[in-house]
């Protein structure tokens, strides 16, 4: 039995990626992005060791917890399951559940390899619960290598004329930008404190990001700064231009393309785009597909029309649950 009730509930003793601090015996956290992490004092927590390291560096220590190795079957709350790399950020996991039916839960995932992570492999399952963040054909991203080359040459060109600010989520994207700066522009960037802390966790887990400097009254030490998008605005640009006495160029790395005040948007995402989603479903070859997040209905329609596999959004609390179909 699987349904959505303030998280993905499997049976009555396991909740995956809770949206509230609802106490339930066992909680599995797929990865350390804040929308997937809710900690209470009553539950026992399960995650990969990398996810634990990020959670403890970013949020809080989790006393009652156990780390689960990738590819090793384990039993949590009477459910046999295996965590697999989801290719989204460091430590991010997909979940393969073996009950009367095998259920694959992608959580946030991508299949492309990146400079700092390998992509997700298909889950061999009868029911596939797949995220549908970019579940319409509009979202089709160029291959990563060519985006890297483009970002690298943009950085090199703009940093000759002025100062460059790269905006990207502090967890996942900012680490990739750090590595791109080093490898594709030959520059060690300054990084905002929140980026620095995550960079350190990646580095301690053995991921090569190249060199970087923590931003600390040292603006003249590098022509590039990496910061979270929430901090990169017109004000920051003006302050930097005033103190550095040179033009400041800004770019945002994101899968969402929209009009903005950035000089450039690079379509770099940690989620599967539409072609990757359909390809992934094909490779997993399930009998039923359930969608969640973003374009749920749309992706379910495309899966059933184009691949001929029954598909629908995951039932929410109050709707019929899977076992009733």
Number of alpha carbons in the 13 Å side-chain half-sphere of residue 24:
25
Per residue, what are the HEC states of the chain?
A: CEEECCCEEECCCEEECCCCCCCCCEEECCCCCHHHCCCCCCCEEEECHHHHHHHHHHCCCCCCEEECCECCCEEECCEEEEEEECCCCCCCEEEEEECCCEEEECCCCCCCCCCCCCCCCCCCCCEEEEECCCCCCCCCCCCHHHHHHHHHHHHHHHHHHCEEEEECCCCCHHHHHHHHHHHHHCCCCEECHHHHHHHHHHHHCCCCCCCCEECCCCHHHCCEEEECHHHCCHHHHHHHHHHHCCCEEEEEECCCCCCCCCCEEECCCCCCCHHHHHHHHHHHCCCEEEEECCCHHHHHHHHHHHHCCCEEECCECCCCCHHHC
Task: State in angstroms the smallest separation of the CB of 173 from Zn ion.
Answer: 10
CB nearer to Zn ion: pick between 285 and 298: 298
What is the nearest approach in angstroms of Zn ion to the Cβ of residue 99? 24
- Residue number with CB closer to Zn ion (152 or 168): 168
108 in Cβ contact with 280 (< 8 Å): no
Nearer to Zn ion, 139 or 154 (CB): 139
Of 43 and 107, which has the nearer Cβ to Zn ion? 107
Report how far apart the first and last C-alpha atoms of the chain are (Å, whole number).
11
Which is closer to Zn ion, CB of 11 or CB of 294?
Answer: 294
Q: How far apart are CA 131 and CA 109, in angstroms?
A: 8
* Site residues (vs Zn ion, CB under 5 A): 33, 35, 108
Min. distance of Cβ 225 from Zn ion in angstroms? 24
User: Could you tell me the smallest distance in angstroms from the CB atom of residue 308 to Zn ion?
Assistant: 29
To Zn ion, the closest distance from the beta carbon of 222 in angstroms equals 28
Is residue 32 within 8 A of residue 26, CB to CB? The reply is no
| 99/194 with CB nearer Zn ion | 194
Tell me how crowded residue 26 is: count the other CB atoms within 10 A of its CB: 19
CB nearer to Zn ion: pick between 52 and 158: 52
Minimum gap (Å) between residue 261 Cβ and Zn ion:
25
Strand partners, 265: 252
Least distance between Zn ion and beta carbon 25 (Å): 23
Of the pair 7, 223, the CB lying nearest Zn ion is at 7
Beta carbon of residue 22, minimum distance to Zn ion (angstroms, whole number): 18
Closer to Zn ion at the Cβ: 84 or 108? 108
Query: Shortest Cβ distance from residue 324 to Zn ion (Å)?
Result: 27
């Amino acid at each position: 039995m699987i349904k959505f009730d303030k998280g993905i509930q499997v049976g009555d003793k396991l909740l995956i990626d809770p949206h509230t601090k609802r106490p339930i015996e066992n909680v599995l956290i797929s990865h350390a992005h804040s929308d997937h992490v809710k900690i209470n004092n009553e539950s026992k927590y399960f995650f990969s060791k990398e996810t634990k390291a990020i959670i403890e560096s970013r949020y809080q220590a989790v006393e009652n917890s156990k780390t689960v190795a990738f590819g090793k079957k384990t039993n949590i709350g009477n459910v046999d399951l295996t965590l697999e790399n989801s290719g989204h950020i460091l430590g991010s996991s997909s979940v393969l559940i073996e009950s009367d039916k095998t259920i694959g839960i992608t959580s946030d995932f991508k299949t492309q390899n990146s400079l700092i992570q390998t992509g997700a492999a298909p889950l061999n399952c009868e029911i596939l619960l797949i995220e549908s963040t970019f579940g319409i054909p509009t979202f089709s991203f160029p291959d990563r290598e060519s985006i890297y080359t483009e970002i690298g040459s943009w950085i090199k060109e703009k940093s000759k004329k002025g100062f460059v600010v790269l905006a990207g989520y502090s967890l996942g994207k900012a680490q990739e930008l750090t590595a791109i700066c080093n490898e594709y522009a030959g520059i060690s960037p300054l990084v905002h404190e929140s980026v620095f802390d995550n960079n350190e966790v990646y580095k301690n887990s053995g991921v090569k990001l190249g060199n970087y400097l923590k931003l600390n009254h040292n603006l003249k030490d590098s022509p590039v700064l990496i910061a979270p998008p929430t901090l990169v605005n017109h004000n920051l640009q003006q302050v930097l231009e005033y103190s550095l006495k040179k033009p400041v160029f800004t770019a945002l790395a994101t899968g969402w393309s929209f009009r903005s005040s950035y000089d450039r948007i690079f379509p770099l995402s940690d989620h599967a785009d539409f072609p990757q989603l359909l390809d992934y479903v094909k490779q997993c070859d399930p009998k039923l597909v359930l969608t969640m997040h973003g374009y749920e209905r749309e992706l379910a329609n495309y899966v059933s029309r184009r691949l001929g596999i029954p598909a629908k959004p995951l039932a929410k609390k109050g709707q019929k649950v899977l076992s009733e179909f």
